[in-house]
Amino acid sequence: MATSTTTVHGAGPLVGSRSFLSKLREGDEIARMITFLFAASVVLVTLLLIFELWQDSALARHKFGLHFFVTRVWDPIFDQFGALPFIYGTLVTASTALFIAVPLGIGAAIFLAELAPARLSDALEFFIDLLAAVPSVIYGLLGIFIIVPVMRDYVQPALKQSLGFLPLFSGPAYGVGFLTAGIVLAIMVIPYIISVSREILLSVPRDQREAALGLGSTRWESTWKVVVPFARSGILGSVFLALARALGETMAVTMVIGNSPTISASLFSPGDTIASVIANQFTEATGDLYLQSLIELGLVLFLLTFILNGLARLLIVLTSQRGSKVSPA
């Protein structure tokens, strides 16, 4: 143990050369240990969460195996549980939401990052942040009493009349269903897409824009053909982030989706998502197999969002790094 080990390394700005004992006497070691315990508890809770989800779904996992994911039947009376309708509903509502939210969100982000003067952009971003803070049950409340009637009386009949030949827009208009849930979800995830994409776009180096404009492109061409492609993977990251939110979103969806485990090509049909079936049936679940099947659904949801969040973070970090590497400033 020569002096070389006591030189400051990456651990922190304050790693000194005092002995362990003197640090203990001055309280540093104690403070370190206490804060370490709190930090370690975060890791512990996370591991415990994964363990509990795995452990408490053991019965359902053993009984159904991989068939769980391809079985259409969800029948608590005969103890038959298959996740397919819920996985289907989750994917359909989330993709409907992204179909609406991605163009709107990216469009708004382009406006905020490229066009709006800094003060206006910051002011609008403030409102977008507030919008992201609105709880999901409030979206559900407005969904039930405003969006559902409007869908039933105006939007769905209109869609049926114009695009009714597509199986997507056929069937009776209940108001509740996949399409309505998708629209509510879209409204909920747009703020996330805008905030993250805006930051990514702002991190694109200035000289990229100047070069494009200098070569004679219009403002839009420099934005669409140079700036956006530069930020492409980061924007994709924001979309993944939004997708993860949309998959896990519970209350608003539960309130407008109609809650029936159906698989239907029609977006007008009532359905169910993984999150909504857990919310609706968890307290009523009688019998271990029923409860554990619901917990296994929770496990599936956890894994889906875990993978998507990881990918999103990776893409966002990679893009911002690229931006800072190119520009010397």
Q: Which of residues 18-77 bind other proteins (CB under 8 A)?
A: 23, 26-28, 30-32, 34-43, 45-49, 52-53, 56
In whole angstroms, the minimum distance from the beta carbon of 178 to other proteins comes to: 18
Which residues, at least 6 apart from 132, have a Cβ–Cβ distance to it below 8 Å?
191, 192, 195
H/E element holding 320? helix 288-326
How many residues touch other proteins under the rule CB under 8 A: the total is 96
Report whether 141 contacts 251 (CB < 8 A): no
Whichever of 13 and 65 has its CB closer to other proteins, that residue is 13
Site for other proteins in 138-197 (CB under 8 A): 138-142, 144-146, 187, 190-191, 194-196
Whichever of 128 and 267 has its CB closer to other proteins, that residue is 128
In whole angstroms, the minimum distance from the beta carbon of 170 to other proteins comes to: 27
In whole angstroms, the minimum distance from the beta carbon of 30 to other proteins comes to: 8
Which residues, at least 6 apart from 69, have a Cβ–Cβ distance to it below 8 Å?
82, 83, 84, 87, 300
Whichever of 171 and 234 has its CB closer to other proteins, that residue is 234
Q: Cα–Cα distance between 196 and 325 in angstroms, integer?
A: 19
Q: Is 224 in the site for other proteins (CB under 8 A)?
A: yes
Residue from 283, 286, 325, 328 that binds other proteins (CB under 8 A)? Answer: 283
Cβ neighbours around 92 below 10 Å, total: 23
Whichever of 246 and 267 has its CB closer to other proteins, that residue is 246
Dig out the tokens for 40 from the structure: 């370690």
Whichever of 151 and 294 has its CB closer to other proteins, that residue is 294
Site for other proteins in 90-129 (CB under 8 A): 103-105, 107-108, 110-112, 114-116, 124, 126-129
Q: Is 225 in the site for other proteins (CB under 8 A)?
A: no
Residue from 137, 150, 166, 265 that binds other proteins (CB under 8 A)? Answer: 137
Residue from 251, 257, 267, 315 that binds other proteins (CB under 8 A)? Answer: 251
Whichever of 99 and 265 has its CB closer to other proteins, that residue is 99
In order of 59, 64, 253, 258, 293, the CA distances from 286 in angstroms are 14, 18, 24, 22, 11
Letter string b/e over residues 142-163, b meaning 16 or more CB atoms within 10 A of that residue's CB: bbbeebbeebbeebbeebbeee
Report whether 93 contacts 253 (CB < 8 A): yes
Q: Is 227 in the site for other proteins (CB under 8 A)?
A: no
**Among 201, 200, 206, 148, residue whose Cα is nearest residue 179:** 148
Dig out the tokens for 288 from the structure: 């271990």
Q: How many residues does the chain have?
A: 329
Residue from 159, 231, 244, 315 that binds other proteins (CB under 8 A)? Answer: 244
Whichever of 38 and 165 has its CB closer to other proteins, that residue is 38
**Among 123, 120, 246, residue whose Cα is nearest residue 178:** 246
Residue from 6, 8, 16, 166 that binds other proteins (CB under 8 A)? Answer: 16
